[in-house]
Amino acid sequence: MNKTITLFLFLLCYFNAYSQKTIEVSDNKLDQFFYDKMPEYITKFGLEDLRNSTDSLRLRIWSGKGTIEVTQQNGVKANLTQWTMWQDPIINKVDFKSEISKQLLDTLLAYDITTLPADNTWGIDGSYIHIEVSTPEKYRTYTYWSPRLSEGGNRFKVAKIERLANSILNRNKHFNEFIETLPPGGYGLSSGQIDCYLPEGSKESSLYQEVKKRMQLELGITENTSHTKFPQLIIDTIPCYMKGLNKYELSEIKDIKIITEKGKVSTFYGANAANGCVIITTKK
């Protein structure tokens, strides 16, 4: 009986505390759109709903294909969540040591991240930075469209927040390490597609061996080459990846042509061929 009363009182206090938490979202269309879509986003990317947080302070910055999050509660913790694309994403999470986390929090607070107002600027062909701020008493979110360091006032502060946060966490390095672990695919990367040689000891067809040898000699593609630097492979006008070469033997091939002129390759075969193109024609 005593345990039941204790549990009831605990739940009553918890729900009373949560019900007192105010939610602040401006009438800015960008803010409203993000807030409406947020439950879908946090579910898709495996994130916590900061509206439910009782931590002393939670900050989350959405930019590009990832979020940066800082938690202050019995110390400071920071993490980076990255993903490949919005549709069926592959997700990667990185946690940071307390020293880096503290440096990040101090930097964000120095640029007034908790009190910056919403911004009404918006346009086309830009990017958005969404920021969430949560305390036990209040949750708020605001959005800035393509803020630049060349601008003044609050837009400068948000641009600086994004740049410094990315720098402190060495975000580019972690993203590059992440994409090197991905299986061959497109992923909507600005650097093109991802491809790689088969793991050591894998079965290799005579065509695979020949193309690999020529790629090493003519394009300098080695086992240590970044997976974003592989050429586009095309067999009978159909794009493929290195593993697709194993479907054929050299005796089935009429011609193998390697094009290295970057301007010419990109014009005809697109961004995925920015690192060269291997064109294979079969005898059929």
User: According to the model, what pLDDT value does residue 114 have?
Assistant: 97
pLDDT at 271: 72
Assigned domain for 191 exists: no
What percentage of the chain has pLDDT greater than the value 90?
76
Q: Is the pLDDT of residue 18 over 50?
A: no
Say if residue 88 is in the same domain as residue 135.
yes
Task: For residue 236, give its domain range.
Answer: 206-282
Same domain, 10 and 116: yes
**Quick check: 206 pLDDT over 50?**
yes
Question: Do residues 223 and 167 share a domain?
Answer: no
Give the model's pLDDT for residue 266: 60
DSSP track, the chain = -HHHHHHHHHHHHHHHHHHT-EEEE-S-HHHHHHHHHHHHHHHHTT---GGG--SSEEEEEE-SSEEEEEEESSSEEEEEEEES-SSS--EEEEEE-HHHHHHHHHHHHHTTTTTPPP-----SS--EEEEEEE-SSEEEEEEEES--TTS-HHHHHHHHHHHHHHHHTTHHHHHHHHHTTSPSB-TT-TT--B--PPPTT----HHHHHHHHHIIIII---TTS-GGGPPEEEETTEEE-GGGGGG--GGGEEEEEEE--HHHHHHHH-GGGTT-EEEEEE--
Q: Are 152 and 245 found together in one domain?
A: no
Is the model's pLDDT at 38 over the cut of 60?
Answer: yes
Q: Are 268 and 135 contained in the same domain?
A: no
Considering the domain architecture, whether residues 219 and 265 belong to the same structural domain is answered as yes
Q: Is the dihedral of CA 231, 236, 241, 244 positive or negative?
A: negative
- Supply the pTM of this predicted model: 0.84
Together in a domain, 163 and 43: yes
Q: Does one domain contain both 14 and 146? A: yes
The total domain count for the chain is: 2
Check residue 221 and give its pLDDT: 94
Q: Are residues 34 and 141 in the same domain?
A: yes
The residue from 160, 179, 198 where one domain ends is 179
Mean pLDDT of 17-32: 82
Give me the chain's average pLDDT, please.
90
Domain-embedded: residue 201: no
Residue 2 pLDDT more than 70? no
| CATH at residue 36 | 3.30.1560
84 with 120, same domain: the answer is: yes
| Same-domain pairing of 141 and 237 | no
Residue 186 lies in a domain: no
| Residue 14 located in a structural domain | yes
Q: Last residue of a domain, which of 139, 161, 179?
A: 179
| The pLDDT of residue 137 | 96
In a domain, 187, yes or no: no
Q: Is residue 137 part of a domain?
A: yes
Do residues 156 and 217 both lie within one domain? no
Contact 66, 130 (CB under 8 A): no
179 near 85, Cβ under 8 Å? no
pLDDT bucket at 12, cuts 50 / 70 / 90: very low
Residue 199 falls inside a structural domain: no
Boundary (domain end) residue, out of 179, 196, 217? 179
Cβ contact 41:87 at 8 Å: no
Q: Is residue 188 assigned to a domain?
A: no
Lowest-confidence segment of 26-40, 137-151, 179-193, 212-226 by average pLDDT: 179-193
Q: 89-146: per-residue pLDDT in tens?
A: 999 999 999 999 999 999 999 999 999 999 988 888 888 999 999 999 999 999 999 9
First-to-last CA distance in the chain? 82
